[in-house]
Amino acid sequence: MIARALLRFLQRTPLSTLMAVLGVALGVTSIVSVHLISATVAERLDELIPRQLAGFTHFLHRADLQADNYFDLRRRWRSGALPDVEGLSPLIDESLLVDTRQVRAIGVDLFSADIGVVEGAGSAAAEEWRWDGVWVDESLVDVVRLPVNGIIAAPPGTLVGDIGVVQDLLGWPSSRISYVGARFVSPWDDLRSLGEALLPGLDAGLPEVTPALSEAGWQIVSLARQHPASQFGKSVLFNISALGALALLVAWFLMYQVAVSWLRRLWPVFERLHVLGVSWRELGGYFAAAMLVLGVVAGGLGLAAGYLLAVQLYGIAIPQAEPEFSLDAWVVLKAAGSSVAVCLLGGAVAFNRARHGIPAERRLHAALILPLAALAGVAFDSSGLIGGFFSIAVLSVLTALAVVPLLNRLRLHSQRLAGPLLVRLSLRELFWYPREFSIALAGLSLAVATAIGVGLMIDSFRADFSRMLDRRLTYDVVVRGGDELAGIASELAATPDVSRLQRYQTVALRIEGAPFELIVTKVDAFEAARYGLSTPLAPDAALLSEQGARTLGRGPGDTLEVDGRELRVAGVFSSFGDLVPRVIVDRGSGLTGRLESLSINADDPARVLGAIRSLSSAAEVELQADLRRIALDTFDQTFAITAVLITIAMVVAGIGVYVAVTTLRLNRRSSTRLLHGLGIVRGESALMDLSLGLGLGAMAVVLALPLGLAFGWILCEVINPRAFGWTVALALSADALATPAFWGLVAAAVAGVLRFGRDEEGTHVART
């Protein structure tokens, strides 16, 4: 009987039911699309790590590592001195030139390694292998002159062989190895794996836990730190996933608002049923069942819409690749689970508040504890990305808790409102019904604040990025290539049009176990100015990228050892977008590398460009103007997804405002009839709705501005350094502040007048 009554109620309120389903479906759409994109990108990021190394959790480095060091460590492990270690293996991982091609040579123990063969003899029994042969990715099949056992799935330019074979390729003695691979076990491993499957990129957001190693002289480097390109991408995924959850959070606000509206009309019926002997537990169960039905419907719609949105967003973010999405069990579970959870939780909280309300002391405790929690997430760098986003979530909750006290406070001054009578009546209703409007205000404020915070971060980031480009792009032409660069440089040096020719040698190396890119060039006053240094770089000095400084914990004046040489850090430079930390030294340091690029200033860049192309058709030539345009286009393309996700959250928040206004109309039916009796026509009633919507929107903007500024600061000063190793100086932008505020007002105003004078579901105000 109760179930039939609830079903009839939903049928009699089609608009509010439709809005509830639509809002939750949009929230599910957001997280499903982000999950599909993240899962696909995460698979590609995992492919950046050779399979032969991906099975290890950490890598152990030490100075002048020899095989004897490994065997000593292995004996200690076998004796039980390293209980957290599940496996150890010696590894070689170095770069070398094979017929002018840069190759990453990985030497492994073939008895224990998973080669990961795609095609060839590598999948057969070991006796069919050529032990003096190698496995290569497809790009090296015709390059290497060794027997090829098979083709492996690996990044381009990867060669895998037995340790001895790779040692011979490098010209190393049999006692030398690169580092030791280790598998550390933790009781949290299964939970982290489950979390990564449910939320791709989550592992990048969790604090990095470095296991303890009692052996002296060894440095422990995690898999993520050893392969920063993969970790960089997964940090991006975590940030997008957190933003995708915004629409779902706002959808919860909406569902709660809908539940409050429905319970206001159902509560007299529930009270009568309770008097007749139906327990509150049973009534709550039937109400939860109705919420469950809505959650299932919304989940199905959101799953379908999320797939379609993912296809479109993937095309925006990675236009050169075709998406390969699969609606696996994780996606379905995430869609259904999130929609059902949002509906059930929203209904449960509304039902509980309808019965008991919220004790004042609980609000007080939250107001005292939550600020400390937000401060902890920002202050402790060890809390990682998840700590930064936890602070954002706590500030959002604090804002939501502050809405009702704020409206109650403003109610005391509502008599001082000026303006037309009908406008004043509408605005007073906002203060006199805080329970109806508090959640809608919180949802809209959160959506606007997030748009402001992200907008401030993007504008600040773009300003810093543009300044970096202005400083770095001081050359007219950049040439990249291989062995032909030396000949090109010799020819250009004798060309009268060329006023400056800069040679850059690069080499991949490890500093304290972490991968770095070493750049060797002549760092005179002109070159040093490109990196913010006012004087030429001394032979015993180095410049560190900001990521490198954070990785090593070094700053100006500190020292570091690079390839056996002790250098002083002369400065730290911004290097947005670097996947590997960089260190720059002068040619006088004695360090050297492979000539990788040339930078040229010329009186006639077009003529020099033509000369370069006549000298070599293989060299990559780029003009400064093209580099700047491509860099800024890539920057804007990177943040295109965030605009879509914030728009979805804003739409859901607008639906929440609509539901709140609808709830208010139920409260003022008697006053509305009185106003109609006094001669108020439909146009004047619509003016009251518009005033209410604009008032609600203005309140949301007022709450959102300080919250958005806090979000922007956290994104610039906390999230960016923890995720990518660089800092962004927060700069206030009129566009970042005004645009979300404008659209927040528009969303509230549209929600206020959407029914144009309808008094309640399906009933129109009569003309007088």
pLDDT value of residue 764: 41
Range of 259-273, 365-379, 499-513 with top mean pLDDT? 499-513
CB 595 within 8 A of CB 485: yes
What DSSP character marks residue 626? H
Residue 61 has φ and ψ, to the nearest 5°, of: -120, 155
Query: Above pLDDT 70, what percent of the chain?
Result: 87
Q: Alpha-carbon distance 239 to 244, whole Å?
A: 9
> Of 583-597, 628-642, 659-673, 694-708, which range is least confident?
659-673
Which residue type, as a one-letter code, is found at position 165? Answer: V
Contacts of 420 by beta carbon, 8 Å cutoff, 6+ apart:
none
Residue 440 has φ and ψ, to the nearest 5°, of: -60, -40
Flag whether pLDDT at 673 surpasses 70.
no
Residue-wise pLDDT for 583-599, tens only, equals 999 999 989 888 888 99
Length of the chain in terms of residues written = 768
Q: Alpha-carbon distance 366 to 268, whole Å?
A: 32
Q: Alpha-carbon distance 735 to 733, whole Å?
A: 5
Flag whether pLDDT at 235 surpasses 90.
no
Q: Alpha-carbon distance 596 to 503, whole Å?
A: 8
Residue 414: which of 668, 747, 406, 403 has the closest Cα? Answer: 406
Flag whether pLDDT at 685 surpasses 80.
no
pLDDT value of residue 440: 81
3-class SS at 567? strand
Query: Above pLDDT 90, what percent of the chain?
Result: 16
Residue 36: which of 343, 318, 341, 225 has the closest Cα? Answer: 318
State the pLDDT confidence band at 80, using cuts at 50, 70 and 90: confident
Flag whether pLDDT at 550 surpasses 70.
yes
CB 689: neighbour CB atoms within 10 A? 22
Contacts of 214 by beta carbon, 8 Å cutoff, 6+ apart:
81, 82
Q: Give 361's Cβ-side CA count (13 Å radius).
A: 0
Residue-wise pLDDT for 276-307, tens only, equals 788 888 888 888 888 888 889 999 999 999 88
**DSSP string computed for 96-164:** EEETTEEEEEEEE-TTT----EEEEGGGS-GGGS-TT-EEE-GGGTTT--S-EEEEE--STTEEEEEHH
Could you tell me the two tokens for 646? 């914030």
CB 136: neighbour CB atoms within 10 A? 26
Flag whether pLDDT at 621 surpasses 80.
yes
Residue-wise pLDDT for 342-386, tens only, equals 888 888 888 887 776 655 555 555 566 777 878 888 888 878 888
Residue 108: which of 177, 39, 157, 15 has the closest Cα? Answer: 177
State the pLDDT confidence band at 118, using cuts at 50, 70 and 90: low
| Burial status of residue 693 (CB atoms within 10 A of its CB: 0-12, 13-18, 19 or more) | buried
pLDDT value of residue 214: 72
Q: Alpha-carbon distance 392 to 730, whole Å?
A: 16
pLDDT value of residue 693: 80
State the pLDDT confidence band at 711, using cuts at 50, 70 and 90: very high
Flag whether pLDDT at 669 surpasses 70.
no
**Mean pLDDT rounded to a whole number for the chain:** 81
Residue 306 has φ and ψ, to the nearest 5°, of: -65, -40
Residue 436: which of 261, 252, 266 has the closest Cα? Answer: 261
pLDDT value of residue 767: 36
301-338: buried (b, 16+ CB within 10 Å) or exposed (e) per residue?
Answer: bbbbbbbebbeebbeebeeeeebebeeeebbeebbbeb
Per-domain residue ranges of the chain: 1-48+231-357, 51-195+219-226, 359-470+632-768, 482-618
Flag whether pLDDT at 761 surpasses 60.
no
pLDDT greater at residue 521 or residue 244: 521
β-strand partners of 505: 520, 595
State the pLDDT confidence band at 521, using cuts at 50, 70 and 90: very high
Compute the average pLDDT of residues 574-587: 87
pLDDT value of residue 205: 78
Q: Which strands sit side by side in the sheet containing 85-98, from one edge to the other? A: 117-120, 148-152, 134-136, 158-162, 101-108, 85-98, 179-184, 58-61, 219-222
CB 757 within 8 A of CB 764: yes
Compute the average pLDDT of residues 698-707: 90
pLDDT greater at residue 763 or residue 321: 321
**DSSP string computed for 218-268:** -EEEEHHHHSHHHHHHHHHHHHHHHHHHHHHHHHHHHHHHHHHHHHHHHHH
Flag whether pLDDT at 758 surpasses 50.
no
Residue-wise pLDDT for 171-181, tens only, equals 999 899 999 99
> Of 30-39, 335-344, 447-456, 549-558, which range is least confident?
30-39
Range of 228-237, 384-393, 618-627, 631-640 with top mean pLDDT? 384-393
pLDDT value of residue 585: 95
Which residue type, as a one-letter code, is found at position 153? Answer: A
Range of 222-231, 491-500, 512-521, 615-624 with top mean pLDDT? 512-521
pLDDT value of residue 537: 93
Flag whether pLDDT at 62 surpasses 90.
no
pLDDT value of residue 504: 93
State the pLDDT confidence band at 680, using cuts at 50, 70 and 90: low
CB 700 within 8 A of CB 399: no
